[in-house]
Chain A
Amino acid sequence: MKDVAFGQYYPADSFVHRLDPRLKLLFLIAFITAIFLATDFYGLAACAGVLLVIVLCSRVPLGKVFRAIRGILFLVLFTAVIQILFNHGDKAYWGGPAVYWEWKIFAVTQEGIVLAIFLVLRLALLVMCSSMLTYTTTPVALTDGIESLLTPLKWLHIPVHVLALVMNMALSLIPVLTGETERIMNAQKARGADFETGNIFRRIKAIVPILIPLLVSSIDRAEELGNAMDSRCYRGDIKRTKYKKLRFGWRDLIAFLLGAALVTGVVLLRVYVGGIL
């Protein structure tokens, strides 16, 4: 349970932590766009460079950022294997035959290998930059930012505040739920439950004694929370004030410029240098 690194706040006092969450969200979108626009290794290197600067500025340990990849390790490996096995391209990047091995629909080619590496790097960068957002932004700040960015939808009578509230609660309950899962797991372990050994069916069956108590207490808690909000006459649709107002400062301007420069740079790279793929 503790190994789930993706999407957890890492407390530190840094430049990146203090950035406006709205800007961080926009920056993330720009960053992801840049990653997808990059069609060669130069573009990815530029993105990786910027990410490295961000990580160093944020004082989040590099190891923790890399660990975020573990969450999608299966997807990464799957993509790589598919690329390597099914790509029939005949482009040669280095000496030797362009096609190493071919059999019916399967083939191992130089292009396949290069593309696999490229895709793995792209996926890894995607996950790492998204996890940087959650490492450096508290859930509350994040939902505040999302709510603020979604303001235009309010004009279309979409209940943005409700969405933000639901998201906020879901995020803030994650630590509560992990704590509770751990407690129930310990309680069942004390009764001899075994979650680590056995085949997949045994393991799935072993989860039932955790899942049911967790579900029961979650429903109970949701009901209590609803009652508590009702009894305080909570209404989200009236104009609400904020305890902490979001402010756009000089740090945010720097980050904004950096993001804009990255996207422009990648686009220029694409137009003038052209992909090596």
Chain B
Amino acid sequence: MRIVAEHLTYTYNERSPFEKRALDDISLTIEEGEFFGIIGHTGSGKSTFVQHLNGLIRLPSSRKHFHPKKPKRGQPAPPAPVLKVGEFDLCDRRTDFRALRRSVGMVFQYPEYQLFAETVKEDVAFGLKNFAEKKDRPRAEEIETAVREALAAVGLNAAEVGEKSPFDLSGGQKRRVAIAGVIVTRPEVLILDEPAAGLDPLGKREIMELLHELHRTWCKTIVIVSHDMDEIAENCTRVAVFKDGTVPYVATPKELFSHAEELYALGLDIPLTAKLTAALARRGIAIDCDFTTEDFLAKVLALKKGGAS
């Protein structure tokens, strides 16, 4: 599913002393099959944006009592926002938002805090049962199979942990169970807010490998929100930079991290590989790499072998 957003604007607590413009006329397209990254500071609007994608935040025009604002005299009317996820038109009130949520999975930050059921199996099945149509409820065996597959997809053995309480698992396992609880409905798009936050380096790498595995098998499009530039450089096909509710840059990691100055100006960091490349460039050694560790190492080793200074 292709995600198209145009002229998206959102304000929290409109007309109150807490008013805050979170999104300011954002336009962004995410193609099907991408592993898309979103970076930006806290409060830059990235979480607000991703919550639009599965209808947790509704556009005004899709709410029940919608009256379009009259433009002020002498000013042109602001362009109407567009937000489409695949064939779902999120500006339209008649859109089936339940079906949308079923096909756009959302994993929040620290998802392990949303576990609640008595057993891991029950927790994973929660979404499946919720999304089931009233007419044809899935049979127990169907649920059982889907849960087992989802747990297997996140690298857990249903026979081993299925009957345990989710609160008895380790931190990393809890997070896997929480992710399984979202992918169990086989969403086409999977959005993750800081999926690796609070994990140790090994846990981080495992989660990212897991996401790549999911990208190959379960979910066509993956969108991750992250603070970690290394993570972005290592994994994403394209990146959007959020800054105070706007999107100043959308580029591939390679393009983006070659412009270190601009990122520094936005108060953002660049990955370690980009720093090393820049340091080498200052000494007259040019490396053309895409800033993944693998590529960087390969190029540097090739350079060494080639006998250049």
Q: Which residues of A contact B37 (CB under 8 A)?
A: none
Q: Which residues of A contact B51 (CB under 8 A)?
A: 186
Is A217 on the interface with B (CB-CB < 8 A)?
yes
Tell me the chain B residues, 89-122 only, with Cβ under 8 Å from chain A.
98, 101-102, 105-106, 108, 111, 113-117
Most buried by B among A191, A211, A212: A191
- Give bound CA distance, A183 to B126, whole Å: 17
Looking at chain B, what size class is its interface with the partner chain?
20 to 34
Q: Are B105 and A190 in contact (CB under 8 A)?
A: yes
Given A192-B101, A208-B116: A187 and B127 interface contact (C-beta under 8 Å):
no
Q: Which of A12, A194, A208, A213 contacts B113 (CB 8 A)?
A: A213
Is B17 on the interface with A (CB-CB < 8 A)?
yes
State how many angstroms separate the Cβ of B57 from the closest Cβ of chain A. Answer: 9
Number of interface residues, chain A, beta carbon within 8 A = 22
- Give bound CA distance, A211 to B117, whole Å: 11
Q: Are A190 and B126 in contact (CB under 8 A)?
A: no
Q: Which of A189, A210, A213 contacts B56 (CB 8 A)?
A: A189
Q: Which of A186, A191, A210, A211 contacts B126 (CB 8 A)?
A: A191
Q: Which residues of B contact A190 (CB under 8 A)?
A: 54, 56, 101, 105-106, 108, 182
Is B145 on the interface with A (CB-CB < 8 A)?
no
Interface string of B124-159 (1 = CB under 8 A from A): 001100110000000000000000000000000000
- Give bound CA distance, A209 to B118, whole Å: 11
Is A179 on the interface with B (CB-CB < 8 A)?
no
Q: Which residues of B contact A212 (CB under 8 A)?
A: 116
Is B162 on the interface with A (CB-CB < 8 A)?
no
Q: Are B116 and A209 in contact (CB under 8 A)?
A: yes
- Give bound CA distance, A194 to B105, whole Å: 16
Q: Which residues of A contact B115 (CB under 8 A)?
A: 213
Interface string of A187-213 (1 = CB under 8 A from B): 111111110000000000000111111
Most buried by A among B130, B167, B182: B130
Q: Are B101 and A183 in contact (CB under 8 A)?
A: no
Given A190-B105, A191-B182: A184 and B113 interface contact (C-beta under 8 Å):
yes
Q: Are A192 and B131 in contact (CB under 8 A)?
A: yes
Q: Which residues of A contact B117 (CB under 8 A)?
A: 209
Is B181 on the interface with A (CB-CB < 8 A)?
yes
State the 7 A-B residue pairs at the shortest beta-carbon distance, nearest first: A192-B130, A191-B127, A212-B116, A190-B106, A187-B114, A192-B131, A187-B108
